[in-house]
């Protein structure tokens, strides 16, 4: 069964600092991996996704993530944090289940950005 572990339920950075949000996955087959962002009182918005093409994936708002099979990781990074990046971030994994692409989400990491 697939699963996702997000290390750190809360990450705090200063504005302009590097953002690093960690995600490790477990999957019995080559996975699809996703990062979503959720702002208060809103639904989830896709930041980026890995679908077995390039291992370094670039997303919206300057975020990127690198798929490392040997480490079963898909960490999210951004070189310079902005105040507007403060939100909750979710990593998700999906397996090829034929017609059923079920996504399993991690528990989320709350990112706060200090001025």
Partner 1 sequence: EAGVAQSPRYKIIEKRQSVAFWCNPISGHATLYWYQQILGQGPKLLIQFQNNGVVDDSQLPKDRFSAERLKGVDSTLKIQPAKLEDSAVYLCASSFLAVRGRYEQYFGPGTRLTVT
User: Closer CB to partner 1, residue 43 or residue 115?
Assistant: 43
Residue 110: both structure tokens together: 């709350």
User: Closer CB to partner 1, residue 30 or residue 79?
Assistant: 30
22 contributes a contact to partner 1 by CB under 8 A: no
Count of other CB atoms within 10 angstroms of residue 86: 17
58 contributes a contact to partner 1 by CB under 8 A: no
| Number of amino acids touching partner 1 (CB under 8 A) | 26
84 contributes a contact to partner 1 by CB under 8 A: no
Cα 4 from Cα 2, distance rounded (Å): 7
Residue 37: both structure tokens together: 């962002």
Sign of the C-alpha dihedral, residues 86, 87, 91, 94? negative
The only residue of 32, 59, 62, 64 in contact with partner 1, by rule CB under 8 A: 32
């Amino acid at each position: 069964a697939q699963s996702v572990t997000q290390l750190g339920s809360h990450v705090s950075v200063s504005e302009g600092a590097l953002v690093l949000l960690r995600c490790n996955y477990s999957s019995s087959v080559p996975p699809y991996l996703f990062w979503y962002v959720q702002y208060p009182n809103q639904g989830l918005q896709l930041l980026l996704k890995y679908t077995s093409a390039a291992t370094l994936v670039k997303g919206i708002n300057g975020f990127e993530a690198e798929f490392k099979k040997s480490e079963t990781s898909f960490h999210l990074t951004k070189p310079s944090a902005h105040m507007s990046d403060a939100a909750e971030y979710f990593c998700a994994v999906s397996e090829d289940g034929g017609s059923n692409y079920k996504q399993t989400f991690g528990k989320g990491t709350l990112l706060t950005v200090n001025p």
